[in-house]
Structure 1
Amino acid sequence: MSSQQDPRLFRDPWAKREAWRKHPVFARRAMFARAFPGFGVALVAFTTYVIAENMLTKGESH
């Protein structure tokens, strides 16, 4: 009996069909980035609005 095992013995027959799961398009970071489209633009626009409003109404009292 040889100490080395046959590499074909543990070969996965479904490896080609499961390869898409490791593709970069389906990475966790890419999925999260596409989960909220436009969130970055909306965050910048809202922040700009709040800063501009605070600067324009700084002298007025409520």
Structure 2
Amino acid sequence: MATPPDPQLYRDPWAKREAWRKHPVFSRRAMFAKAFPGFGVAVVAFTTYVIAENMLTKEKKPAH
């Protein structure tokens, strides 16, 4: 039966310096969420405005 290789043999000397890349702050989701700050609030505010305007300013259409 073969013995497993020594873990120190394949140890990456740069792993400690590269660990920041795997931090959750630098994930794709976090980067995308911070790319457009306030976008979600703006979408909700605009949608509310459009719905309120349509409900308050309905004009009666003449019947043909």
Name the TM-score, length of structure 1 as normaliser: 0.84
RMSD: 1.5
2-structure distance, mates of 1:60, 1:36 = 40
In the TM superposition, residue 60 of structure 1 has moved relative to its aligned partner by 5.0
SS in structure 2 opposite 1:53? helix
Does residue 50 of the first structure (1) align with residue 50 of the second (2)? Answer: yes
Match of 1:3 in 2: 3
SS in structure 2 opposite 1:11? coil
In the TM superposition, residue 51 of structure 1 has moved relative to its aligned partner by 0.4
2-structure distance, mates of 1:4, 1:37 = 49
Name the TM-score, length of structure 2 as normaliser: 0.81
Greater per-residue helix proportion = 1
Unaligned runs of 5+ in 1: none
Does residue 15 of the first structure (1) align with residue 15 of the second (2)? Answer: yes
Note the alpha carbon deviations across 1:23-57, whole angstroms, 9 max, x for none.
Answer: 01111111111010010110011001100110111
Identity fraction in percent: 80
Q: Point out 4+ residue stretches in structure 1 off by more than 2 angstroms.
A: none
